[in-house]
Amino acid sequence: MIAALCNEIQMRSPAFFSGEPLTTIYFGGGTPSLLTPEELETILTAVHQNNSTETVEEITLEANPDDITEENLTGWKKAGINRLSIGLQSFREQDLQWMNRAHSVEEGESAIRKAQKFGFTNLTVDLMYGLPDLSQTEWKEHIYKLTDLNVPHISAYCLTVEPKTTLHHLVGTNKIHVPDEDTQAEQFELLIQTLREKGYEHYEISNFCLPGQYAKHNSNYWKNRKYLGIGPSAHSYDGENRFWNPANNTRYIQSVQSGKHTPEKEHLSPENRFNELLLTGLRTIWGVDLQQLSDTLPLTDAFRTEMEHFIQAGDLQLSGNTIRLTQQGKLKADYIASALFV
């Protein structure tokens, strides 16, 4: 697998970026912290050899708390990793158990402290709300634990119950009770209010940071910039086309080894690109530039009428040529975006 990843980097990145300098590198989409530091270093060497990387500011590794050992931290630093994304999820043991997480609450907290001690001050931690039987008081305590630990970036996601999962079965048999939508919305509002009081900026629907601590890599997605995905199931985007690799590991490796690796490709129509600009832009504090939208596809009377409706309702605000969600609008971001879709 490591050889295939390095081969794909060599085959695709020079042509994809055409000499443009990279700004971020991200190891994610699975459990990359299971790789040894030496394996990560091998992959990064391939990236450096086949790209202009002098301007790279951020190299992120998604890491499970139980993989954050002193040995790994030393190796990650040596390899060039300068940012960790830690999948903590919850500060309640019962949640970690039904999620089948390998770490305990104590190990989660210890992982953050350990990473900071080794100089990884650029951290982001994942938390979930809308969890079974999670009270408002407990949720607020979870948020405070992260702010007390001086975590500069927090990603918070609402639990979704996917069909045909263990959680779906537990909910269906009344063994677990998930909060209703109103309670989830209250927890989201409590999250926003608590983090604002602690000096965090709510710069994307699910993401909060201390001043200037934006996730540079993820911001590229939200700002509609090109990106290259390497590995099984990885997706790429060049501004007009989307590409994706085989999901099956064996098929992926065989495809790369054959020397004829050609990802699946979809050309995005102006309508697709218009809708994606809306969906991603509205989620952020930067909002959506109406000029950029109209360059993709002329704005129709129906669009302007719908937009005006949301402005009058207090869900959107127009500033210059940019539309942004209001605090009220953030509670129904996906609905507003879909109503404005062409």
Record the pTM. Answer: 0.94
pLDDT higher than 90, residue 62: yes
pLDDT higher than 90, residue 155: yes
Q: How far apart, in whole angstroms, are the C-alpha atoms of residue 21 and residue 296?
A: 26
How does residue 168 score in pLDDT terms, banded at 50, 70 and 90? confident
Q: Give the burial class of 302: count Cβ atoms within 10 A of its Cβ; 0-12 exposed, 13-18 middle, 19 or more buried.
A: exposed
pLDDT averaged over the chain?
Answer: 95
pLDDT higher than 90, residue 17: yes
> Which run of H or E residues covers position 241?
strand 241-244
How does residue 162 score in pLDDT terms, banded at 50, 70 and 90? confident
**Average pLDDT for residues 193-214, to the nearest whole number?**
97
How does residue 30 score in pLDDT terms, banded at 50, 70 and 90? confident
Q: What is the pLDDT of residue 161?
A: 85
**Average pLDDT for residues 151-165, to the nearest whole number?**
92
pLDDT higher than 90, residue 170: no
Q: Are 114 and 71 in contact (CB under 8 A)?
A: no
Helix segments in the chain, DSSP class H? 2-17, 37-50, 70-79, 93-98, 105-117, 136-148, 166-172, 181-197, 216-222, 249-257, 270-282, 290-296, 301-312, 333-340
How does residue 178 score in pLDDT terms, banded at 50, 70 and 90? confident
Q: How far apart, in whole angstroms, are the C-alpha atoms of residue 104 and residue 153?
A: 21
At 31 the three-state DSSP class reads coil
Q: What is the pLDDT of residue 176?
A: 83
Q: How far apart, in whole angstroms, are the C-alpha atoms of residue 143 and residue 149?
A: 10
pLDDT (tens digit per residue) in 233-291? 999 999 999 999 999 999 999 999 999 899 999 999 999 999 999 999 999 999 999 99
pLDDT higher than 90, residue 169: no
Q: How far apart, in whole angstroms, are the C-alpha atoms of residue 92 and residue 71?
A: 27
Q: Minimal CA–CA distance to 290: which of 279, 308, 278?
A: 278
Least confident range of 95-104, 128-137, 144-153, 160-169: 160-169
First-residue to last-residue Cα distance in the chain: 41
pLDDT (tens digit per residue) in 316-337? 999 999 999 999 999 999 999 9
Domains of the chain, start order: 2-222 (3.80.30.20), 278-340 (no CATH)
pLDDT (tens digit per residue) in 88-118? 999 999 999 888 888 999 999 999 999 999 9
Q: What is the pLDDT of residue 29?
A: 85
**Average pLDDT for residues 210-237, to the nearest whole number?**
96
How does residue 177 score in pLDDT terms, banded at 50, 70 and 90? confident
Q: What is the pLDDT of residue 234?
A: 97
pLDDT higher than 90, residue 340: yes
Q: Give the burial class of 60: count Cβ atoms within 10 A of its Cβ; 0-12 exposed, 13-18 middle, 19 or more buried.
A: buried
pLDDT higher than 90, residue 175: no
